[in-house]
Amino acid sequence: MASMASVSQFPCKTFQNSSPNSKLIPSTSLSPVNRINFSALSNAKSTKLKQSFAVRAVSEDDWGPDSSAPSVAVVEEKPSEIDLLKKKLVDSFYGTNRGLSASSETRAEIVELITQLEAKNPTPSPTEALPLLNGKWILAYTTFSGLFPLLSRGAALPLVKIEEISQTIDSVNFTVQNSVLFSGPGATTSISTNAKFEVRSPKRVQIKFEEGVIGTPQLTDSIVLPDNVEFLGQKIDLSPFKSLLTSVEDTASSVAKTISSRPPLKFSISNRNAESWLLTTYLDDELRISRGDGGSIFVLIKAGSLLLTP
C-alpha cells in the first residue's frame, strides 16, 4: 500500500479584481509564506525510514520586484526520529575509546539509545536482507570485554595506535573477516581472522573461525615523530631524535621493500572455542547493532557513512 499524505490548512493569497481590465493584485493582509505539513504514514511491511516534509510556497516577493518567475514549492526534508537517535548515539561514543573508557553514566545513556533504536529496527529479519549486511563495517563501540585488553595495550603504547577495528561480511560466500589495523612510526600492519557463517534464524548467525592472518607491514608515506611521549608517568622529550628521522626513513623503506614481497603469515584456528554466534538487533544501510554470546553489544558503522565523520 502506498504512503498517504494529509494536507492541512493551505492558506493562499487572495486576489482582488476591481475591474475587468485590471491586473490581479495579491492582498498583503496574509503572510507571503505559506506552509503545508505532510506526515507520512508508515507501511507495516515497508523498511523505509519515516520522513517529514515542509513545503513552502514562494511568492513573487521572494524572487524580487523585477523577476517574472512563477511561484514554486520548495521541499525541505527534516531528519527522521531514527536519524536523530543514530546521531545522538554516535555522538555519545566520543572519548570512550570504542567503549573501553566509557563511564557508567555514559554506558547507561548508550544502552538506552540502543534500546530505542532496536525498538524501531527497520529490518526485522536481517539474515533475510543479506545485501544490507554485505560490506565493511567499522567498530564504533562495544561492551565485549575480550577486546578491552587489546584496546588498553594500544593506549599504553604511545608510538603504536589502533587505527581501526573492522568486520567485513561477504554475503555471497558466507564469510566474515575480523581485522585490527595497527599503525606505528613509518608502517602499518594488521591482524585478521577469517570465518564462515551460517544463518540460524531471521536474526542470528553462527560463526566458525578457520584461520588467522598477520598482514605484511606496509610503509607509510613518512614517519611523524611527536615532540614528546608520556610513558609510565614520565614525559620523554623526543626532539633530539628528529635529526635521525631521515636515516630511519631510508632504512625503513629498504626493509619494507624486502618484507612487502613476502605473503602474509597465515595460521589455522582449530580449537573448540573457535565458534560463536551473533544476533543482529538493528540494521539499516549505515548502522548495525549486534549482540553476542554473553550479552556483549557491538555497534558498527558502514565504511563510507557520514556517521564516521566527526
Q: Give 231-245 pLDDT, tens digit per residue.
A: 455 566 666 655 555
Split at pLDDT 50, 70, 90, the class of 116 is: very high
C-alpha cell at 36: 503545508
243-289 confidence digits (pLDDT tens): 555 555 566 566 656 655 667 778 787 766 678 889 999 999 999 99
Q: What is the rounded average pLDDT of the residues 117-132?
A: 95
Instruction: Name the CA dihedral angle for 122, 127, 128, 129, rounded to a multiple of 10 degrees.
Output: 60
Q: Does residue 213 have a pLDDT over 70?
A: yes
Q: Has residue 26 got a pLDDT over 60?
A: no
Select the CATH number that applies to the domain covering 83-215+264-308 from these four: 2.40.128.280, 3.40.50.720, 3.40.50.450, 2.40.50.140.
2.40.128.280
For the record, the C-alpha cell of 244 comes out as 635521525
- Which pLDDT score is estimated for 76? 66
Alpha-carbon gap, residue 243 to 88, rounded angstroms: 45
Q: Where in the chain is the domain with CATH 2.40.128.280?
A: 83-215+264-308
Give CA–CA dist 310/303, Å, rounded. Answer: 14
Nearest to 99 by CA among 114, 87, 85: 114
Distance between start and end Cα atoms, the chain: 39
pLDDT, averaged across the chain = 74
Model pLDDT, residue 254: 64
